[in-house]
Amino acid sequence: TNVISLASTSRKRGIAYNDAAFVSSFSRFPKVSWAYNWADVTVDIPPGIEYVPMLWGLGKQIEDWHSHAENAIMSDTTHLLAFNEPDLTSQANLTVDTAVAGYLEHMEPFAGKVKLGSPAVTNGGGHMGLSWLKDFLLGCSSCTVDFVAIHWYN
């Protein structure tokens, strides 16, 4: 199989949205296959677009996380996202150690059922972004992380 032809037909692109009505604008693009809304539930996204729940942080978001994730899996979700920008104080704002413990408790139970995403870090410098993610991956060596999520601002 030609690798170039595989890459050109890949359906890995996703849409972040606040209003599900906007997702339908992208559903006609064949490479867009999934969407998320920084939450663990959604309403009315178009057929053919997979909803991917996110465990935004470790505050009130964990109250219904397990049941909402299970419901999404029963509705054919194949991926889950962890922690929105844990390296940023205005977002999930988690230390690496807290994120590791939270991932093991709230994400790892779904390993083998769906693909699990890393915490979605920023592209900040210092101990943010990729540095934070590297420390997370080293500290969470027993965690199942099937794909890496990064928010890149440029």
Q: In 27-87, where does DSSP find H-type helix?
A: 65-74
In a domain, 147, yes or no: no
In a domain, 153, yes or no: no
- Tell me the average pLDDT of the chain: 91
Query: Which range marks the domain in which residue 42 is found?
Result: 12-139
d(CA 11, CA 50): 11
Mapping DSSP to helix (H, G, I), strand (E, B) and coil, where does residue 24 land?
A: helix
**Helix pair 96-106, 129-139: axis angle to 10 deg:** 50
pLDDT at residue 54 greater than cutoff 70: yes
**C-alpha of 56 from chain center:** 9
Give, for 136, the enclosing helix (H) or strand (E): helix 129-139
In a domain, 152, yes or no: no
d(CA 24, CA 17): 11
Higher pLDDT: 43 or 78? It is 78
| Neighbouring residues of 52: CB distance < 8 A, sequence distance ≥ 6 | 14, 34, 35, 36, 77, 79, 80, 81
In a domain, 44, yes or no: yes
pLDDT at residue 1 greater than cutoff 70: no
The model's confidence at residue 8, banded by pLDDT at 50, 70 and 90, is very low
Q: Hey, what are 39's tokens?
A: 């939450």
Least confident of 8-12, 17-21, 36-40, 89-93: 8-12
By percentage, how much of the chain surpasses pLDDT 70? 93
In a domain, 135, yes or no: yes
DSSP state of 18: S
pLDDT at residue 9 greater than cutoff 60: no
d(CA 53, CA 28): 22
In a domain, 82, yes or no: yes
Q: How many domains does the chain have?
A: 1
67-to-59, 150, 151 alpha-carbon distances in Å = 16, 26, 27
The answer to whether 24 touches 51, Cβ cutoff 8 Å, is no
In a domain, 149, yes or no: no
pLDDT at residue 83 greater than cutoff 50: yes
The model's confidence at residue 24, banded by pLDDT at 50, 70 and 90, is confident
In a domain, 94, yes or no: yes
